[in-house]
A and B are shown apart, each in its own frame.
Chain A
Amino acid sequence: EAQVTQNPRYLITVTGKKLTVTCSQNMNHEYMSWYRQDPGLGLRQIYYSMNVEVTDKGDVPEGYKVSRKEKRNFPLILESPSPNQTSLYFCASRSGTVNSPLHFGNGTRLTVT
């Protein structure tokens, strides 16, 4: 089944403890992206990647890192999480064809205390 898989679904951590949220897609998609969603603010893009080894900042990249060493994986790294990074995170992917739609994962709810 074609899907975008995020792990974990729920994560509670403390300020400053490094964490990684994984994202994997099995559709051989070139484009991948991370979004965070907060009440009243919609989906805001953190980072995106057009292909392997190519990443770019979105609207809210501060405090986050990403890597794209292989096509299927696009992990989101929080080196030193802070409470303002408490949010719902979504990973998405699409093929390189210009009109292809985005496929989203089921989300990761992160709480930083």
Chain B
Amino acid sequence: DAKTTQPNSMESNEEEPVHLPCNHSTISGTDYIHWYRQLPSQGPEYVIHGLTSNVNNRMASLAIAEDRKSSTLILHRATLRDAAVYYCIFTTQNFVFGPGTRLSVLP
């Protein structure tokens, strides 16, 4: 199974950047790194994904280490609405989720 390691919880202040780390030391060369988040009382939603290069979209940025054994999801300015559980997974086919990181955003 594809396993990742993330901190159980993190805290951030509103309007400040947040860096959510993920270790995926068993990743293979063809596995993509995906990030999802789950807001309270909702199903998970896609955030971003990448293979080797850093990626940006309207929601976040994804920084991938050169050896691909770790990555960081960057929320440039955290808002209260970003409080959620963030999941990092790597996969070519099947999607197996870990416990994720619960992000709290303080006003």
Q: Is the interface of B mostly helix, strand, loop or mixed?
A: loop
Say if the beta carbon of B29 comes within 8 Å of chain A. no
Chain A residues whose C-beta falls within 8 Å of the C-beta of B49 in the assembled complex: 99, 101
Taking a contact as CB atoms under 8 Å apart, the answer to whether B97 and A43 are in contact is yes
A48-97 contacts to B (CB < 8 Å): 48, 50, 56, 58-59, 90, 92, 94
Taking a contact as CB atoms under 8 Å apart, the answer to whether B42 and A106 are in contact is yes
Say if the beta carbon of A14 comes within 8 Å of chain B. no
* CA distance in complex: A101, B44 (Å): 11
Residue of A nearest to B50 (CB): A99
B55-82 contacts to A (CB < 8 Å): none
Say if the beta carbon of B11 comes within 8 Å of chain A. no
Chain A residues whose C-beta falls within 8 Å of the C-beta of B95 in the assembled complex: 33, 45, 48, 92, 94, 102
Taking a contact as CB atoms under 8 Å apart, the answer to whether A42 and B43 are in contact is no
**How many Å from the CB of A3 to the closest CB on chain B?**
11
Of the four ranges (under 10, 10 to 19, 20 to 34, 35 or more), the interface on chain A belongs to 20 to 34
* CA distance in complex: A81, B76 (Å): 45
Residue of A nearest to B32 (CB): A99
Taking a contact as CB atoms under 8 Å apart, the answer to whether A58 and B96 are in contact is yes
Taking a contact as CB atoms under 8 Å apart, the answer to whether B94 and A43 are in contact is no
Point out residues on A near B: beta carbons under 8 Å: 31, 33, 35, 40-45, 48, 50, 56, 58-59, 90, 92, 94, 98-99, 101-107
Apart from the given pairs A48-B95, A102-B46, 15 other A-B contacts in the complex at a CB distance below 8 Å: A43-B87, A44-B97, A45-B94, A45-B96, A50-B93, A56-B94, A58-B94, A58-B96, A90-B43, A92-B95, A101-B34, A101-B49, A102-B36, A104-B45, A105-B43
Q: Which 4 A-B pairs have the closest CB atoms?
A: A104-B43, A42-B99, A101-B46, A43-B97
Q: List 21 A-B contacts (CB under 8 A).
A: A31-B93, A42-B85, A42-B87, A42-B97, A42-B99, A43-B87, A45-B95, A45-B97, A48-B94, A50-B93, A90-B43, A90-B44, A98-B92, A101-B34, A101-B49, A102-B34, A102-B36, A102-B95, A103-B46, A104-B43, A106-B43
